Structure 1
Amino acid sequence: MSSSTILADDLDEKHLAVPRPDLVRTESNLEKAIDAEANINFSAPVEDAEDSDNSDDPGPAPNGGLKAWVQVVGSFFLFFNSWGTVNAFGVFQTYYENNPRWRETPSNISWIGSIQAFLLLFVGLASGPAYDNGYFRSLIIGGAILIPFGFMMTSLANEYWQTMLAQAFCIGIGNGLIFVPSVAILPQYFSTRKALANGLAASGSSFGGLIYPIVFRRMQQEVGFAWATRTLGFISFATVWFSVFVMKPRVMPKQRRQLTDFAAFKEIPYTLFCVSMIFGFIGLYGPLYYIGPYSIQNHITGENLGFYLLPIINAASIFGRIIPNAIADKIGPLNVLFPCALVAAILALAWIGIKNLGGIITFALIYGFFSGGFVSLPPVAIVTLTQDMSKIGTRMGQCFFLSAFGLLVGTPVSGAILKNTGSWIGVQLWSGAAILMTALLMLWARVYVAGWSPMKRV
C-alpha cells in the first residue's frame, strides 16, 4: 500500500468535507485586450454536460505544438503585409518626390500613404463583424488577392491617379481585410501564452516596415522602380498566401460584436484617450514619411542613406513594441504611454535642430523605439479604462475608427505646410505639437483615473 493511500484512509469526514479552493489564473490586461480584439471569451461559464456533448467545442487551447505555432507564423505574415506596408510607405514618399513618371506636391504624395493607412483601420471596422459571422477565410483570401495585385498595378502606373487607385485603395482595402484576422485567431490556440504569441505575431509589422523599404531601395537601384515594386508584390503574394494555406480557426465567436457604444463617451477618461489617439496619429507618422526627404534635401545624408533612415526607425520600433509592454504589465499602460508620447513629442520638436549625420541616425533610433511603444499599448490602456469587459472590443473599434482620421489627415497637412512655407520647421512643429497634445491628454486621463500619485498602477 502506497503512502498516498494510507493518508487517504486516515482522513476523516471533517477534512473531506472541506472544499479545495479552485486555482484561478488571472489574465493580464494585454491578454484581455487580445481576447477582446478576437471577440472571444474563454472565461464564460461551461455548458451543461448534455449540451457540451452536442456542441462543436474543440476543447482547451493547445498552448503550443506545431499547429499552434504555425498560426503565429501565419499571423506574423498578416501583420507583415498590413501594418508593414503602412510603415514602409515613407520610402515611396522619398522616391515619389523625385518621380520621373509624374510630378506631385509632397502633400498629394502623402495622401497615397495616409489613405492606405486610413483604409486599414476603416475597413477593419467592417471586417470585425464579417469575421464574427464566419468569413475568416474569405477575408484573408480577399487580402491575399488585393495586396499583391495593388503592388503589381502600382508598378505599371504612369499617372498619379493610377498610383492612388493601386497603392492607396487596392492595398489599403486588402490591409483592412486581414487586420482583424491577424489578431483574432491567436486566442483560439493560446490561453496561457497569449501575450508571447501576440507579441511575436505583431512584430511582423515592424519587420515589414524594415524589409520592404530595404528590398525596394536595392531593387530600384539595380532594376528600376517597376521591377522593384513587382518584387514587393511577389513577396506579399508568397507571404500572405502562406497565411491563407496554414491558418484555420478552431472555433468562431458565438455572438456578434456591437459596432458602437456611444455611452462610453460619457466617461471622461475614455473620451480623453480617444481624442489623444487622434492627435497621436496626426503627428506620429510625420517623421516616418519625411525623414528621408528632409535628410536628403538638407544634405545631411546622401540619397542612398536617406532611403535607409526609415528601416532604422522600424528596426528600433521592434524593441519599442516589446520592452514598454513588459514594463506596462508591471506599472500600468497609461504610466508607460504618457512618457512614450512625451518623449516622442520632444524628439519631434528636437528634430528642428538636427543638422548632422550622427544626430539624424540617433533621432531615428530613439524615435523608432518610443513610437513603437506608443503604437502597441493603446488596446491595453482601453482595458484599464473599461469596467464592463464585454464592451472592450466595441470600445477598441470606436477608438481605432477615430484614430483612422488622424492617420488620414496628419501627413498630407505636413506636406501642405512644406509646400506653402518652403520650410521644414512647420512640418516638425506640426508633428511635435500634435504628439505633445497626445501626451497632455493622456496625462489628463491618467490623473482623472488615479490622481497625481506616480506610484499608482493604471
Structure 2
Amino acid sequence: MARDANPTVGEELTTLHPTLGSEVSQNLTLFHDVEPTTTSRSRLDYTFPEGGIKAWLVVTGSFCIIWGTFGLVSSVGLFQAYWKTHQLSNYSNGDIGWIPAVNIFFNLFLGVQVGPLFDRYGPKWLILSGSLLYVVSLVLLAECTRYWHFMLTYGVLNGFSGALLTTTALSVVAHWFERKRGMASGIAFVGSSIGGITFPLILKPVFQKLSWAWSMRIVALICLALMAVGNICIRGRLPPRKNGGAIDLRCFLDARFSWATVGVACFEFVLFGALGLIPTYSLSQGFSNQTGFNIIAILNAGSALGRSFSGYISDRIGRFNTMLLTLVWTLVVTLGLWLPIGDNLVVFYVFAPLFGFGSGSIISMAPVCLGQLCRADEYGQYYGTSYSVVAFATMVCIPIGGELLPRIGATGFVAFFGGVLAVAMVSFIMARWASLEYRWNWTAKI
C-alpha cells in the first residue's frame, strides 16, 4: 500500500485548517472546501483507488448486503401489521412493536463491538458468519407462532446477525473511497431502498396465497442469494488497526461528533418509527391494507432516488451541507403534507415518495458525515460508538409511536415526529457550526 510522505507539523496544520490566519484561500465556486476535520489526515496516510473493478465490486457486495438486511427492516411495518391480524392478534401495537424495535436496536448497538472487530480483522469472517446466522434466523422465523418465538428469532438472532453484516458492509466502503465516499456509500445504501420496494411487492401476493411459513422461506432464499454475492465481492484493503477498543467515550469530547450523534438519533427515531407504523397508521385513517403495502413500496422508491442524489451532491457541496438541506426538505414534507393528510388518499400518495426522498438522503449521509470526523482506519470504531447511542432511540421509537397513535390521534402522532425532526435539524446546524470552529460561513463546503 502506498503511503505519502509525512508533513511537518506546520504543513499538517495548514492542511487541516486551511481557513486559519492569513492563509485563507478563496475559491470561485459557491461552496469552497474548508472541511477542518481529521479525515483530511487520511489523505496524508493512505491513497485510495476511488474506483476500479475491485472497488466497485466491493460497493456491489455492500449493496447486496444492505438490500437483504436494511431492506427487510424497511418493510418491517408489513410484518407488524401481519402479526397483529394473525399470530399476535391478542397483543397491542405497542407490545408487538418491541419485536422489530429489539431487532433494530441490536442491528445498531452491536456496531459498538463489530466496528472495532472490523478495524482489527477485516470484513471476511464477519460477513461470512453474519450471513449464515442471518439466513438461519429467517428459516426459524418461518416456524414462529408465539410472541417469544418472534422476539428470539427476529428480535435477537436476526438483529445480532444483521449487526455483523450492516456495520461491516458500510465500513468497508471507506477502505476504497475517500473523495468519492459520499457517492459510493449512497450507492451501497440504495440497496436498502431496493429491498424496501421488492420485499413488499413480493410479500403482498405471497401472504395472500401462501402460509406465513412458506412466505418466510421464500424471503430466506432471496436473502441467501444476496448474502452469497456479498461474500464473493467484499474485500478489505487497509492494514489492521491494532489499537482502539469497542467504544471510546473520548469521541464525545468532540462537539462535532456529539451534535451529529444527537441529530442522527433523532432522525432515525422518526424514520424507523414511520417505517414500522405507517401500515398501522394507514389502517387507523381508514385506508385499506393494500394502501399500506403500496405506501411502503413508494416511500422506499423515493428513498432510492434520495440516496443516489445525496451521495452525488455531497461530494460537491459538502456532506454536512447536504444533510442540512435534506433535513429541511423532510421537515417541510412532514409538516406540510403528512400532518394534514386526514383521509385524503391522494395527499398520502404524494407524501410517500417525497418523504422517502428526504429520509433516504439523510440516512445515507449519516455514516458519511461521521466518517468525515475521523481517519479512514478509525471509521469502524466511530461508526459503532455513535450508533450505540442511536440504537437506544431506534429501540423505543416503534413502541412509543404505537402507544401514541391511538392515544393522541394521527395528527398528534405526526406532530410529535415533526418536533423530533426539528431537533435533528438543530443538532446538525450545531455540528456544522462546530466544524467551522464556531465561525459561521454559509458557503463553506463542510
Distance 1:68 1:377 in 2: 20
SS at match of 1:285: helix
> Any conservation in 2 of the 1:188–1:250 contact (CA below 8 Å)?
yes
Q: CA 1:456 to 1:314, structure 2 compared with 1: closer, same or farther past 3 Å? A: same
Deviations 1:135-154 (A, max 9, x none): 63322222212222222222
Q: CA 1:221 to 1:118, structure 2 compared with 1: closer, same or farther past 3 Å? A: same
2:192 to 205, 219, 229: 205
Q: CA 1:190 to 1:273, structure 2 compared with 1: closer, same or farther past 3 Å? A: closer
2:269 to 279, 282, 302: 282
* 1:366 and 2:354 are equivalent in the alignment: yes
Aligned residue number for residue 455 of structure 1:
443
SS at match of 2:85: coil
1:160 to 133, 144, 147: 147
1:360 CA displacement: 0.5
> Any conservation in 1 of the 2:131–2:227 contact (CA below 8 Å)?
yes
> Any conservation in 2 of the 1:120–1:175 contact (CA below 8 Å)?
yes
> Any conservation in 2 of the 1:102–1:160 contact (CA below 8 Å)?
no
Distance 1:352 1:42 in 2: 45
Q: CA 1:370 to 1:29, structure 2 compared with 1: closer, same or farther past 3 Å? A: farther
Aligned residue number for residue 241 of structure 1:
228
Distance 1:453 1:69 in 2: 35
Q: CA 1:214 to 1:437, structure 2 compared with 1: closer, same or farther past 3 Å? A: same
Aligned residue number for residue 428 of structure 2:
442
Deviations 1:395-434 (A, max 9, x none): 3332221111111111210112234x16223322221111
SS at match of 2:445: coil
Computing the radius of gyration from Cα coordinates, the structure with the larger value is 1
Aligned residue number for residue 90 of structure 1:
77
1:317 CA displacement: 0.7
Aligned residue number for residue 401 of structure 1:
388
Deviations 1:141-187 (A, max 9, x none): 22212222222222211111111111111111111111232134445
Percentage identity across aligned positions? 25
Aligned residue number for residue 176 of structure 1:
163
Which amino acid is the alignment partner of residue 202 of structure 2? V
> Any conservation in 2 of the 1:72–1:197 contact (CA below 8 Å)?
yes
Aligned residue number for residue 44 of structure 1:
45
> Any conservation in 2 of the 1:382–1:395 contact (CA below 8 Å)?
yes
* 1:380 and 2:381 are equivalent in the alignment: no
Aligned residue number for residue 5 of structure 2:
none
Higher mean C-alpha displacement, 169-178 vs 207-216: 207-216
SS at match of 1:377: helix
- Superposed CA RMSD in Å reads 3.2
SS at match of 1:330: helix
> Any conservation in 1 of the 2:122–2:240 contact (CA below 8 Å)?
no
The 5 A counterparts of 1:287-436 are 287-300=274-287, 302-349=288-335, 350-354=337-341, 355-383=343-371, 386=373, 393-419=380-406, 421=407, 423-436=409-422
Q: CA 1:198 to 1:294, structure 2 compared with 1: closer, same or farther past 3 Å? A: closer
Unmatched tracts of structure 1, length 5 or more: 1-23, 47-59
Please report the TM-score for the alignment, with normalisation by the length of structure 2.
0.82
Distance 1:144 1:114 in 2: 21
Please report the TM-score for the alignment, with normalisation by the length of structure 1.
0.80
1:215 CA displacement: 1.1
Unmatched tracts of structure 2, length 5 or more: 1-14, 16-32
Q: CA 1:123 to 1:265, structure 2 compared with 1: closer, same or farther past 3 Å? A: closer
> Any conservation in 1 of the 2:200–2:296 contact (CA below 8 Å)?
yes
